[in-house]
Amino acid sequence: MKQYFKNTWEGLWTVFVGMKITFKHLFVPSVTIQYPDVKVPLPERVRNRLYVNMDDCIGCDQCARACPVECIEIETVKSMPEEDLGKTSNGKKKALWVTKFNIDIAKCCYCQLCVFPCPTECIYMTDVYEFSEFKREDLLYKFSTLSGEETLQKKENFEKFQAEKEAQKAAEIKAKAEAAAKAKAESESKPNSDETKQSEPPKQENS
C-alpha cells in the first residue's frame, strides 16, 4: 500500500513539473523567428556558398587541388605575347585565360580548404545560405566570364601560336644540323687537300 501511494505521488509530481514549464511559457514572449521575414544574424566566420571574383583569378588551380571532394573544375589557356590580361587587385600579373571555372555546390562540404591556398584571395565563402534548387544541375555555378565562342577562339589562337613556335624551333634545329654537317664536310676535305699538296713533287728550276 505504501509503494502504491508513493508511485501515485511521483506520477502526479511529474505532471505538475511538466505543467509548470508549460504555464511558464504561456506568459513569456515568443522566441520563434518569423522566417523568412526575420532572419537570425550570422556569425562573422560562417561558411556557406562559395564565390569567385574572376577579376582576381589567375588560374593557378590551387583551390581545385586542395578540394577534398573535387567539386571545383578549372581550365586555362595561355595568353599570347601581345595580349595584356591586366593585373589582380594585389598587383599580380595575369598570364592565363580562365576558360572554365565551375563549382558544383551540391558536392561541396563547406570545409573552406579551397580558400586558404589562393594567392590572390579571389575565392571565398559568403553568408548566402538560401540557394536550394529543384534541379541538381542548377547547383553547378559557372564563374568564367568568357563565352563559348571566346573560349574556342582563345584555344585556337594558342594552338596556332604553339604550332608556329614548334615549326620555328624545328627549322632552327634543322639549320643548326645543316651548318654542323657543312662544317664537318669542310673539315674533312681540308686535310685531303693538304695531303695532295704534300705528295706533289717539287718543281725544278731551268738552268
Radius of gyration of the chain (CA): 39
Per-residue pLDDT, 10:
87
* Average pLDDT over the chain, rounded to an integer: 84
Q: 131 in a domain, yes or no?
A: yes
Domain containing residue 139: CATH number: 3.30.70.3270
Structural domain for 118, as ranges: 50-145
- Tally the domains of the chain: 1
Mean pLDDT of 22-44: 83
Q: Judge contact between 100 and 151, C-beta under 8 A.
A: yes
Mean pLDDT of 42-70: 93
Q: 37 in a domain, yes or no?
A: no
Q: 30 in a domain, yes or no?
A: no
Per-residue pLDDT reduced to its tens digit, 178-189: 777 777 777 777
pLDDT bracket for residue 207 (50, 70, 90): very low
Q: 67 in a domain, yes or no?
A: yes
Residue 60, helix vs strand vs coil:
coil
Per-residue pLDDT reduced to its tens digit, 109-164: 999 999 999 999 999 999 899 998 999 999 999 999 888 888 888 888 778 877 87
pLDDT bracket for residue 17 (50, 70, 90): confident
Buried b or exposed e, range 23-50, using 16+ CB within 10 angstroms: eeeeeeeeeeeeeeeeeeeeeeeebbbb
Q: Who wins on pLDDT, 116 or 32?
A: 116
Q: What distances in angstroms separate CA 79 from CA 5, 58, 74, 101, one per listed residue?
A: 89, 12, 16, 17
Q: 202 in a domain, yes or no?
A: no
Q: 54 in a domain, yes or no?
A: yes
Q: Cell 591556398: give the residue.
A: 117
Q: 125 in a domain, yes or no?
A: yes
Is residue 16 over pLDDT 80?
yes
Q: How far apart are CA 181 and CA 192, in angstroms?
A: 17
Q: 200 in a domain, yes or no?
A: no
Compute the CA torsion angle 181, 185, 188, 193 (nearest 10 deg): -160
Mean pLDDT of 169-178: 81
Per-residue pLDDT reduced to its tens digit, 57-100: 999 999 999 999 999 999 999 888 888 888 898 888 888 999 99
Q: Could you tell me the pTM of the whole model?
A: 0.65
Q: Who wins on pLDDT, 141 or 172?
A: 141
